[in-house]
A and B are shown apart, each in its own frame.
Chain A
Amino acid sequence: MSRQITIDPVTRIEGHAKITIQLDDAGQVQDAHFHVTQYRGFEKFCEGRPFHEMPSLMARTCGICPVSHLIAGAKACDALLAVRVPATGVHLRKIMNLAQIAQSHALSFFYLSAPDLLLGMDAEPGQRNIFGIAAANPEMARDGVKLRQTGQKIIELLGGKRIHPNWPVPGGVSSPLTAEKRDQMLAMIPEAITITRRTISWFTSVLGNFQPEIDSFANFPTLFMGLVGKGNTLEHYDGPIRFVDRDRAIVADGLKHADYQEYIAEAVEPHSYLKSPFYRSMGYPDGIYRVGPLARLNLVEKCGTPLADEVLVAFREVDRGSSFHNHYARLIELLYAWEKIELLLNEPDILSDHVRAFASPNNEEGVGISEAPRGTLIHHYEIDRNGLMKRANLIIATGHNSLAMDRGVAQVAKRFIKGDQITDGMLNRVEAVIRTYDPCLSCSTHAAGHMAMRVQVLAPGGEVLSEVQRG
């Protein structure tokens, strides 16, 4: 008899979702889907509001990555004003964006995924959390807290508060940096670098234990998309968009932000509130692509900072088609973020008080694109002559990965789930593939609601046979 397994809610992710796994008569996995079950409507209720509110209003989509939304929103507003942000304003925004990426990567790695990596995919579920880490390896738990704190502290020093700082504004940032705060930030970097390097050594030492997961965690050919910096380096703030294929060969390059609708289209699936973007010229669903840490490292030749480039050499040897390696890429980006923040803080003009350009709205449409921790973030605003919002379109990093997450769930389920005896460890792997993307579902559906995720096994007739619910 065929059955359906439901994992609902999926845990240790941001936002809520469920997974359904369809079994056939022989108890083999037939299909599996990832459902995002929340709806919010930010694009709708911003209509009629003054566009100057947008960075802060849109940032309320999320408490984890408000800075990413502030940056993309402010950039979309720069385009409405048609101004060039002063160089120091750009540097300061970049520092905040990198601090955000660092704190979020630390959260994803240490708090959400390390329990699987340190304690094992089959460990007791009650232990698979940050407290379990603290019991098994107190230093690692402290490292995670320290790295997250460093990122958050930099955000606070720049913008006045850790969550929702209203500091990136249309035209730049609202206040310049002081020497005292710069020195405070610089003093935190060496320890953050030491911790990150220690974590990378540990991670590469245990990588061999996860070969079955590396082979099956969304390990399939797709395109990768993201921003690319000058000199073919890692970039999170600006720069043209590039698509590469499974072999890292360039499919499209130098794409302009304002034209994003020419190369990205969005499909709607009935089973999820999360839309599924695809590369337009390859159609749906063949235009499947991935964004995020792994994608970003697959796009470029080098990171552009010495220590990160050192570890990139070893990273190049791994199977870079597997989403499992998002963890690895995330750690390399963490290292890069600290190095890059240090470089930017040492820019000679970093204390300049010319941090903002002023203008009335000169364009009626503006697109702002930047890299959020989870991938490319797109804000697109349209305003009337008086500067009131007519329309907004957001494509959130997690959204780009929608197709790949859905397909990844099916791949893992087929590899690990055998119908007659379903263990928690099997189901945890199905959740863990989602965690490699570090999805932020509350952002990606711009929706409201409570947290968490569930796995369901369904019979061919649709009846629920088994269900795992957490949270």
Chain B
Amino acid sequence: MTNVVTLKINDQDVSGRDDETILELARENKIPIPTLCHLEGLSNIGACRLCLVEIKGMNKLLPACVAKVQEGMEVYTDTERLQKYRRTILEMLFAEGNHICSACVSNGRCELQRVAQKLGMDHVRLEYRYDNRTVDASHERFALDYNRCILCTRCVRVCDEIEGAHTWDVMGRGVESRVITDMHQPWGESETCTSCSKCVQVCPTGALFEKGKAVSEMTKRKGFLAYLTSMREGLK
């Protein structure tokens, strides 16, 4: 049974259900919180840490996409401390991969690029890793550019939760982590992939794209997710 709770976000009185996340309630009230791994219609995993918020009386920062609202909570979504952390997180994403916007299929349509612009990330103060990463272009229609992957795992979740194929997964630990298809086989040799392209459409960057797209041409269509999830809700 759900109860109604009242709390404050950025000193504004708001109320919601106690099974809602801070992110859901904030967005209902048009309070922006940046996200990258979160996508409406998929489960939340709190991977990117961009949605961290401050709670009064708590030293620990909480990811708004998974933290539930509580009665009397006082949440702050845009403090100086959070701005500093978010910018650092973004800089680490850029320093870790090879995000060459000017030659990227998603240039101008990329969620990472958009968030970076919005949060004023005009420089990367960390040293770039210049990691030598590859492109898996073995699939007939799609390709995976590891240089652009930020490990948000939207592809893993959409393939598992919506398509039900679970072709994608994550292998390795720390900076060695990477998404893989099947048992780390080339994508084109995957037996489970249905070539539905859901992973490509939900990928926030140019990591997953349709072959044949030139620079700036990769438009992602995420609309299907709302139709599929609402249809399934109706069937329950």
Contacts and interface: CB of A to CB of B under 8 A. Distances in A.
Interface of A: 48-50, 52-53, 55-57, 60, 164, 166, 169-170, 174, 358, 360, 386-388
A52 B137 contact: no
Contacts of A387: 137, 143, 211
Contacts of B145: 50
A50 B211 contact: yes
Contacts of A60: 102-103
Contacts of B84: none
Given A53-B105, A56-B103, A166 B137 contact: no
A268 B72 CA distance: 75
B215 interface: yes
Contact of B135 (A50, A55, A174, A360): A50
By DSSP majority rule, is chain B's interface helix, strand, loop, or mixed? Answer: loop
A388 B102 contact: no
Given A50-B143, A164-B102, A56 B137 contact: no
Contacts of B211: 50, 52, 360, 387
Contacts of B4: none
Q: Which label, helix, strand, loop or mixed, suits the secondary structure of the A interface?
A: loop
Interface of B: 102-105, 107, 134-135, 137-138, 143, 145, 188, 211-217
B137 A57 contact: no
Given A56-B102, A60-B103, A49 B135 contact: yes
Contacts of A386: 137-138, 143, 188
B215 A48 contact: no
17 contacts: A48-B135, A50-B137, A52-B214, A52-B215, A56-B215, A56-B216, A57-B103, A60-B103, A166-B107, A166-B214, A166-B215, A169-B214, A169-B217, A358-B212, A386-B143, A387-B137, A387-B211
Given A56-B102, A57-B103, A170 B214 contact: yes
Contacts of A174: 214, 217
A423 B116 CA distance: 53
Contacts of A57: 103, 215
A362 B213 CA distance: 16
B212 A52 contact: yes
B137 A53 contact: no
A388 B212 contact: no
